[in-house]
Amino acid sequence: MNSKEISLVESLLNSPKHIVVVGHKNPDGDAIGSCLGLANFLRQKGHQVIVMMPNDFPKFLHWIPETDQITIYEQEVKKSEEIVKNADLIFTLDFNALNRTGDLAPVLAAATADFILIDHHQQPDDYAKVIYSDVTMCSTSQMVYHFIEALQGLEFMNSKIATQLYVGIMTDTGSFRFPATTATTHRVIAALIENGAKNSEIHQNIYDTNSPDRLKLLGVALNNLVMLPEFNTAYITLSQEELNDNNFKKGDTEGFVNYALSMQGVVFAIIFIENKKEDIVKMSLRSKGNFSVNEFSRSHYNGGGHTNAAGGRSLLTLSETVAEFISILPKYKEDLT
């Protein structure tokens, strides 16, 4: 944030406000961590703060401090609408367009509150009074740390905020290994550990939570993995039937696509997950190097994200989606090889 933006934020926060902090649909560790960390800070500054998510989040994130205080729009529609309507200020975190909040989007769009956007995704929409957007950042959680720092608020750092932000940074950087992980990221992480984030415990809480069902589903996914060597590409499919057979629960497929990307020579990996309830195929796209899955998803899958990680959806059937994918790859051969 530049000094003008910092003064604007300071003026918006200089008297007690009713604040809502919103994350994106299907919230991940960064959405949950950044929203909770910011909310904890704002409460200490004397504001009334509600953290709101469009829908529920996976079990492996439930242990994070203060998740019990999150309002889930889908579960409490009327109450959530009242909260948004009565808000003075709405922070939107870890997303770049209101439609990333699903059914909550029209509710937010109708709000009279001022918006502050904090996010690291590409091409943010222009709906906020303050736009703190930085696509070089590894995570929104790191940005929340810098936000608190910019407001001279590091004295309010505590072990809960430290844990919340640590989760967000760790999950969005693939445990500090993706290219957006910088020396500054590690300095922030060091400060979080000094303020009470228990790094090893957090890692175990997030990653050592496999159920037998999830591991079996991973087995199915790996069995379905297809390599397309001529395009340095690999893809995985999971049908609704395969998900059902293995008692799929929210979050179970998190990270599966990384196995495809971990194969030698692969620079582009994608997982297609059938969702019969929503009648879509949801995909997660990942890449290495310059190949932009953000652009690819924007062009073909009504989605987006970052250069190396994006999401999207298709309205075709699973087999049609895969056939279409294979048919468009030759257009990208030069970028992929």
Question: Which residues, at least 6 apart from 3, have a Cβ–Cβ distance to it below 8 Å?
Answer: none
Q: What count of other Cβ atoms lies within 10 Å of the Cβ of residue 139?
A: 29
Q: What count of other Cβ atoms lies within 10 Å of the Cβ of residue 328?
A: 11
Strand, helix or coil for residue 106: helix
Q: Which residues bind ligand 5GP (CB under 6 A)?
A: 24, 96, 100, 121, 284, 303-306, 309-312
Which range in 93-101, 142-150, 280-288, 313-321 contacts Mn ion by CB under 5 A? 93-101
Q: What count of other Cβ atoms lies within 10 Å of the Cβ of residue 112?
A: 10
Distance of closest approach, residue 229 Cβ to Mn ion, in angstroms: 31
Distance of closest approach, residue 25 Cβ to ligand 5GP, in angstroms: 9
d(CA 42, CA 90): 12
Give the largest CA-CA distance in the chain. 60
Q: How far is CA 235 from CA 124, 220, 256, 258, in A?
A: 28, 13, 10, 10
Distance of closest approach, residue 245 Cβ to ligand 5GP, in angstroms: 23
Contact predicate 47/17, CB 8 Å: yes
Q: Hey, what are 189's tokens? A: 């992480």
Which range in 135-143, 187-195, 202-210, 254-262 contacts Mn ion by CB under 5 A? 135-143
Q: Answer yes or no whether residue 254 interacts with Mn ion by CB under 5 A.
A: no
Distance of closest approach, residue 110 Cβ to Mn ion, in angstroms: 26
CA atoms within 13 A on the CB side of 314: 24
Distance of closest approach, residue 279 Cβ to ligand 5GP, in angstroms: 16
Residue 36 φ/ψ, nearest 5 degrees: -65, -40
Closer CB to ligand 5GP, 13 or 260, in the complex: 260
Closer CB to ligand 5GP, 35 or 87, in the complex: 35
Closer CB to Mn ion, 224 or 307, in the complex: 307
* Residue 303 binds which entry of ligand 5GP, Mn ion, none, CB below 5-8 Å type-dependent: ligand 5GP
Which range in 53-61, 87-95, 263-271, 284-292 contacts Mn ion by CB under 5 A? 87-95
The side-by-side arrangement of strands in the sheet containing 309-314 is 226-228, 233-238, 268-275, 280-287, 309-314, 304-305
Q: Answer yes or no whether residue 242 interacts with Mn ion by CB under 5 A.
A: no
Distance of closest approach, residue 303 Cβ to ligand 5GP, in angstroms: 3
Which range in 36-44, 58-66, 133-141, 148-156 contacts Mn ion by CB under 5 A? 133-141
Question: Which residues, at least 6 apart from 227, have a Cβ–Cβ distance to it below 8 Å?
Answer: 233, 234, 263, 266
- Residue among 51, 80, 124, 172 that touches Mn ion (CB under 5 A): 172
Closer CB to ligand 5GP, 168 or 311, in the complex: 311
Closer CB to ligand 5GP, 80 or 292, in the complex: 292
* Residue 214 binds which entry of Mn ion, ligand 5GP, none, CB below 5-8 Å type-dependent: none
* Residue 54 binds which entry of ligand 5GP, Mn ion, none, CB below 5-8 Å type-dependent: none
Distance of closest approach, residue 127 Cβ to ligand 5GP, in angstroms: 14
d(CA 113, CA 91): 10
Query: b/e for 52-66, b at 16 or more Cβ within 10 A?
Result: bbbbbbbebbeebbb
Q: Answer yes or no whether residue 119 interacts with Mn ion by CB under 5 A.
A: no
Q: How far is CA 95 from CA 61, 134, 136, 196, 214, in A?
A: 19, 12, 14, 28, 27
Distance of closest approach, residue 102 Cβ to ligand 5GP, in angstroms: 10
Closer CB to ligand 5GP, 43 or 300, in the complex: 300
Residues that bind Mn ion (CB under 5 A): 30, 94, 140, 172
